[in-house]
Amino acid sequence: MGYKVVVAGATGNVGREMLNILAERQFPADEVVALASRRSLGTEVSFGDKTLKTKDIEGFDFSGYDIALFAIGSEATKKYAPIAASQGCIVIDNSSLYRYDPEIPLVVPEVNPEAVEQYGKKNIIANPNCSTAQLVVALKPLHDRARIKRVVVSTYQSVSGAGKDGMDELWEQTKAVYNPTAEVPPKKFTKEIAFNVIPHIDVFLDDGSTKEEWKMTAETKKILDPKIKLTATCVRVPVFVGHSEAVNIEFEEFLDEDEARDILREAPGIMVVDKREAGGYISPKECVGDYATFISRIRQDSTIENGINLWCVSDNLRKGAALNAVQIAETLGNRCLKKG
């Protein structure tokens, strides 16, 4: 007997990807229900070779369902996740609402799969921020070998991280550059995103960092190791899908770049493409639609005693959101629920 699965927010970018990935990975589901807000009621979404009509999340009875994948934002999650959890359905939430709750596990299955076993306190598991997910996949095998002291990361985050509105704004502004009679002022972003980069994601905090930067620090500590020091600069770039990160890592002991490359090649969820020649690396455009976190430009940092630099790229709608949520569901099934 397989699982009964709910996808909440099925008409959004991440919700649609969740349905795609459930089908692609042949998740053992006997039933999949697509939920959306009332204004999207009846919208058709694809699930493999099937078409599902969305149902209204308001008043939906979650009892009898095993797992609910939530991609509906923090405010709606705050309302509906406790309802689902109280009715016996385990919520895997993609919003930031529960990530920092000490009673709710924050999980990246390649990094801390054992954490899913703590779901029972609130019947909720949190999915990390998209920029954090790919980073910790890269850091974990290196940390196991040489213990990471400090990470400096600069992100190049695509507009899909801001949802459909962000993608639409980039598209409309790009067209307007070539049509001077049209003007598309910034709405989703603080400045024009077309042909520009914006060093500002989420709100500013008192110390001058943004909340996106704070999230990367807090989540890396929770998922991987609270002793790791991390500083981030998060930047929005005019790319539709795919987040990139330039990562500088300082270790407690020396790690040779060749050994680091070998370790990463063997690590789960990682694809190393690292040739020191033109095109011998992965760009965000090439990672779209792929499950892997791609690592390139692995090299020694000679300015510190035990340092490595690398370039990390991943499809943020997949590994950064939908894929990681489905992998959590798979891990939960294998370790705890044991159906299918």
Query: Does 161 carry a binding-site annotation?
Result: yes
Place of tokens 């020396």: 254
Q: Is 200 a catalytic residue?
A: no
Query: Does 160 carry a binding-site annotation?
Result: yes
Q: Is 243 a catalytic residue?
A: yes
d(CA 64, CA 58): 17
Query: Does 14 carry a binding-site annotation?
Result: yes
Number of C-beta neighbours around residue 171 at 10 A: 14
d(CA 95, CA 165): 17
Query: Does 12 carry a binding-site annotation?
Result: yes
Query: Does 25 carry a binding-site annotation?
Result: no
Query: Does 39 carry a binding-site annotation?
Result: yes
Q: How many CA atoms does the CB half-sphere of 145 hold within 13 Å?
A: 20
Query: Does 334 carry a binding-site annotation?
Result: no
Query: Does 120 carry a binding-site annotation?
Result: no
Query: Does 96 carry a binding-site annotation?
Result: no
DSSP state letters, 44-95: EEEETTEEEE-EESTT---TT--EEEE-SHHHHHHHHHHHHHHTTPEEEE-S
> Among the residues of 105-210, which ranges form H helices?
130-146, 164-177
Query: Does 157 carry a binding-site annotation?
Result: yes
Residues 89, 143, 234, 243: which is the catalytic one?
A: 243
* Sequence letter at residue 150: R
Which residues are paired to 294 by β-bridges?
A: 271, 313
Residues 130, 234, 287, 312: which is the catalytic one?
A: 130
Name the binding residues for substrate: 157, 236
Name the binding residues: 11-14, 39-40, 99, 157, 160-161, 180, 236, 316
Name the binding residues for phosphate: 99
Q: Which residues are catalytic?
A: 130, 243
Name the binding residues for NADP(+): 11-14, 39-40, 160-161, 180, 316
